[in-house]
Structures are given as C-alpha cells and as structure tokens.
C-alpha cells in the first residue's frame, strides 16, 4: 500500500473514531438539556390536559386572549379533540348550562366544532323552530366541520320572511285600481316543534341491552334535529334531555334509561308537550324456552303533515 493511501486511510479512521466519540458524547453523555420545553412537546395526554385546563380557565376568567396565547403553538387537532371531549363530557355530566355555553363560546372562537355545541350556543330561544318549505334553512347535519352552521336558522328565533305563493300573484285575482294597504297575509308557519308527532315506534330486542327509551327527532327530510328538549315523564317523576349530545348516534338522538314497571309519557319542548303516552317496557316476542327478553323502545318523532296547508294549496 502506498504511503499516500496509508495516510488517507489513517485520516479516515481517525475521523470515524472522532465522529463516533463526538456523537456518543453529544447524544448520550451530554445531550441537549431537557429543560425549557413548551406545551407542544408534551406527551399527548398532557397536551390534552393543557388544552382542557386552558378551556376551564376560560370558563372562569373569560379571557379569550390569554386562552389563545396558552393554546398558541399547539396543533389544531389537539385543541379540537380536547375541547370537543370536554364539552361532551361536561354535557353528559350535567354541568350548568352557563358553563357549557362558555365552553361552546370558546370552542366557536377557536373554530372547534362539535354537534353538542349547537345545543348550548343557540338555546336562548325557548323552542327550536324550523320554518317549513325552506329546505335550505333546515338544520344541517354537522357531518363535516366545514358544513357546521354558525347560526342555523332552525335554531334561531328569526322568523323567515313569508314567501308569497303563486296564488298571491295570480292573474285570476281581479286587480284593484288602488293598492290595498294590507296585502293578503300568508298563512303563518307553525314552528316545527308544534308539528312534531309520532312517526314510528319500534321495540329493540337485543340480549344484554340496557333498557332504554331512545328518541330520534327528525325534520321533514328525516335528518336529526339537535337541540330539541325531550321529556320522559312517569308517575312521580320526570327526566329531561336535549337531542344531539351523543353525536355518534345522530344529531337528533337522545335516550333515557327505562324501568320495566313504569309507564312513560314522552313530551317535547319546554312544556313537555306530550306526544306519546303509555309507553312501557314490554317483553320481546317469546322465542322457545328462553326467558323472555325485555325490549327497549326506539321512538322516531317528526313533523306531521300540514293538512290545512295542503288543502289550501290544492284549493
């Protein structure tokens, strides 16, 4: 081997040894000190805990800027996930509505969206009402984040502008030379809640199931409506819940635990207007020698057809 090659090999071997020693020292013996880290580097559960703490602090101090700065640098997914979970847990735990409203206000400000929010963002109205014949104003199912309505008309008190039917402008109506000061008033649209009725009722028979009364409130198109107050009343008691708090089961879904011996009345709205009466847990259809299974109920509520309106339209 030539002298030249030997020298270069020696240099290379030395460099490898030096590099190895250097990395050993900097990566293992004296690595960069684990101090002065920041929230984004926290372990996932601690990051979520951080977001949760920031949101809870907002509930107390209402300082949005401070909350934003606390969440600054964290991924939106972390923020969304933790706040969604907090809202849903809090709703399920029966936290005061004001607290939940604060949380949902924060969520909205941070562009975090969860169906459970709708209930608390827009419950300033006594009853959710949905205008009929205006499909675009029906509540949109919050299947995607981008489609979440910021101010769903179905959940506001804004009365939609009455639309004139073609009959109003019909040339068959004799025009009068002087316009009347009071144009013919359109038929007032009853709120959706006032039109809710029983669509169907089915017994659920699955071994090991918890006895429940499950309610699904739907609109004309069969889409679930969040934010509807549902009452389950029985002799000596009543329970109330709001649709949409279990987003996984649908925006219009709500359920109650049921007792085999009780007879229930199902109502909706602030006054619990009864829609289904004498609802009782009953045995499922008998099969062989097995002990009969008690069945839960699934009740679908939806708007009843407007007979008067239809007859008007036809006439």
Q: What is d(CA 196, CA 231) in angstroms, rounded to the nearest whole number? A: 14
Of 39-47, 104-112, 190-198, 221-229, which segment contacts another protein by CB under 8 A?
39-47
Binding residues for another protein, rule CB under 8 A, total 48
- The residues near 223 (Cβ < 8 Å, ≥ 6 apart) are 138, 139, 141, 251, 252
Of 41-49, 75-83, 106-114, 283-291, which segment contacts another protein by CB under 8 A?
41-49
Q: Decide: is 157 part of the binding site for another protein (CB under 8 A).
A: no
Strands 196-204 and 237-242: unpaired
* Residue with Cβ nearer another protein (56 or 85): 56
CB 63, min distance to another protein, A: 9
* Residue with Cβ nearer another protein (54 or 281): 54
Task: Write out the binding residues for another protein, residues 55-84 only, by CB under 8 A.
Answer: 56-57, 59-61, 70
* Residue with Cβ nearer another protein (66 or 200): 66
Buried b or exposed e, range 210-245, using 16+ CB within 10 angstroms = eebbbbbbbbeeebbbbbbbbbbbbeeeeeebbbbb
Q: What is d(CA 7, CA 198) in angstroms, rounded to the nearest whole number? A: 94
Q: What is d(CA 297, CA 234) in angstroms, rounded to the nearest whole number? A: 15
What are the structure tokens assigned to 139, written together? 């509540």
Q: Decide: is 1 part of the binding site for another protein (CB under 8 A).
A: no
Q: What is d(CA 129, CA 155) in angstroms, rounded to the nearest whole number? A: 6
What mask, x for binding another protein by CB under 8 A, covers residues 91 to 130? --------x-------------------------------
Q: What is d(CA 84, CA 137) in angstroms, rounded to the nearest whole number? A: 25
Of 4-12, 126-134, 250-258, 288-296, which segment contacts another protein by CB under 8 A?
4-12
- Number of Cβ within a 10 Å radius of residue 281: 19
Residues that bind another protein (CB under 8 A): 3, 6-27, 31-32, 34-39, 41-44, 46, 49-50, 52-54, 56-57, 59-61, 70, 99
């Amino acid at each position: 081997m030539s002298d030249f090659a030997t020298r270069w090999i020696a240099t290379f071997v030395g460099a490898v040894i030096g590099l190895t020693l250097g990395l050993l020292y900097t990566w293992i013996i004296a690595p960069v000190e684990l101090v002065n880290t920041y929230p984004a580097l926290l372990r996932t559960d601690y990051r979520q805990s951080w977001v949760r703490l920031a949101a809870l602090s907002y509930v107390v101090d209402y300082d949005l800027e401070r909350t934003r700065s606390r969440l600054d640098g964290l991924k939106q997914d972390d923020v969304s996930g933790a706040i969604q979970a907090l809202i849903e847990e809090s709703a399920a735990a029966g936290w005061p509505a004001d607290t939940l409203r604060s949380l949902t206000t924060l969520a909205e400000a941070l562009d975090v969206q969860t169906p459970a929010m709708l209930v608390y963002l827009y419950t300033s109205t006594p009853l959710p009402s949905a205008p009929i014949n205006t499909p675009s104003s029906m509540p949109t199912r919050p299947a995607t984040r981008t489609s979440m309505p910021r101010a769903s008309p179905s959940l506001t008190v804004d009365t939609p502008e009455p639309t004139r039917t073609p009959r109003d402008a019909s040339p068959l109506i004799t025009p009068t030379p002087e316009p009347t000061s009071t144009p013919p008033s359109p038929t007032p649209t009853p709120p959706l809640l006032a039109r809710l009725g029983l669509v169907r009722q089915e017994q659920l028979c699955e071994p090991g199931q918890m006895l429940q009364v499950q309610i699904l409130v739907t609109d004309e198109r069969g889409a679930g409506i969040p934010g509807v107050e549902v009452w389950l009343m029985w002799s000596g008691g009543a329970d109330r819940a709001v649709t949409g708090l279990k987003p996984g089961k649908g925006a219009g879904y709500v359920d109650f635990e049921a007792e085999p011996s009780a007879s229930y009345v199902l109502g909706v709205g602030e006054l619990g207007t009864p829609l289904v009466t004498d609802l009782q847990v009953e045995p499922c259809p008998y099969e062989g020698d097995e002990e009969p299974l008690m069945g839960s109920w699934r009740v679908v509520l939806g708007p009843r057809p407007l007979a008067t309106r239809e007859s008007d339209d036809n006439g």
